[in-house]
Amino acid sequence: MKNIQWIYLKLTVVLAVVVISGCSTYGKISALPEDYQELIHKDDRKILTSEKYNLVGLSPKSEKIKSVGWGEFILTIENRSSNNMQFSMDNISAHGYEMDTGKTMELEIFRREVLIQKEMSSQKTRNAWDAVGSVLNVLNVAASAGTGSSLSDQQKHEDSVAKSKKRHIEILKRLKSLMPENTTVLPGEKMNGLIRVQLPKITDARKKIMFSINLNEEEHKLAFIQEKTEKGQ
């Protein structure tokens, strides 16, 4: 029994060390307007707009970023045609460019349905580990004849499980706020949506992020600069 508890304790400690040992790197994202584009300030956000026959607006949800590997952008599309516009996530692509070396990289546009499925799978794994922990806690309480220490450990485990489930619900809620795979934009109407995109690794080298957005074969290119900052800047 003690061996089983010791193995579980070591696994828990190892996982905790892995989670907290990572050191966050901070950066910021700024719009880089072209001659035919405009930077609009609205609701404490800087929106980069590209206007041709139709209009596209793009702004980072937050200009401050951390080294989590992705960022979220608010996309606005205005359909100025007389026909319905069928917009798909396939109409968006992004690339990163290291400005000092010219090195390029393709950046993934994450799909809402795929992210939700991954989170559901991760939660199943967490539930399995929580179940193992619950069994061990029950056995520990029984072996310790309900001592204060064992009951306290059981309560801590139950609190941890409850927090995990609450976090899972919050993550799903956030993922469901992302743009769906396909959207119809009616004539004369605007659509706003949240997209999640892979970001280049934050280093001392400045990087250019170029989005390409196609609206009925009309291409809009919008650029942003990513650079490293100190925490809080």
- Find out whether 94 and 200 touch, Cβ atoms under 8 Å: no
- Find out whether 231 and 202 touch, Cβ atoms under 8 Å: no
- At residue 127, the pLDDT reads 67
- At residue 14, the pLDDT reads 44
Distance CA 130, CA 160 (A): 9
Residue type, 68: V
- At residue 21, the pLDDT reads 43
Tens digits of pLDDT across the chain (233 residues)? 444 554 454 455 445 444 444 568 899 999 999 888 999 998 888 999 999 999 999 999 999 998 878 999 999 999 999 999 999 999 999 999 998 888 999 999 998 787 778 777 777 677 666 666 665 565 565 566 555 555 566 667 667 777 877 787 787 777 787 788 889 999 999 999 999 999 999 999 999 999 999 998 899 999 999 999 987 56
- At residue 2, the pLDDT reads 45
The secondary structure of residue 196, as a DSSP letter, is E
- At residue 56, the pLDDT reads 96
Residue type, 1: M
Distance CA 231, CA 233 (A): 6
Q: What is the dihedral of CA 110, 114, 115, 121, to 10 degrees?
A: -150
- At residue 17, the pLDDT reads 42
Q: Which residues pair with 95 in a beta bridge?
A: 106, 210
Give residue limits of the domains in the chain. 26-110+178-229, 113-175
- At residue 78, the pLDDT reads 96
**What counts of helices (H) and strands (E) characterise the chain?**
3, 13
- At residue 140, the pLDDT reads 61
The third-level CATH classification (topology) of the domain covering 26-110+178-229 is Immunoglobulin-like (2.60.40)
3-state SS of 150-199 is HHHHHHHHHHHHHHHHHHHHHHHHHHCCECCCEEEECCCCEEEEEEEEEC
User: Cβ of 87: how many Cβ atoms within 10 Å?
Assistant: 24
Distance CA 181, CA 116 (A): 13
Q: Residue 209: which of 65, 1, 87 has the closest Cα?
A: 65
Asked whether the CA dihedral 205, 226, 178, 218 is positive or negative, the reply is negative
Instruction: Tell me the C-alpha to C-alpha distance, in Å, between residue 161 and each of 42, 141, 203, 226.
Output: 41, 17, 36, 37
Question: Angle, nearest 10°, between helix axes 148-175 and 112-143?
Answer: 170
Whether the pTM exceeds 0.85: the reply is no
- At residue 22, the pLDDT reads 53
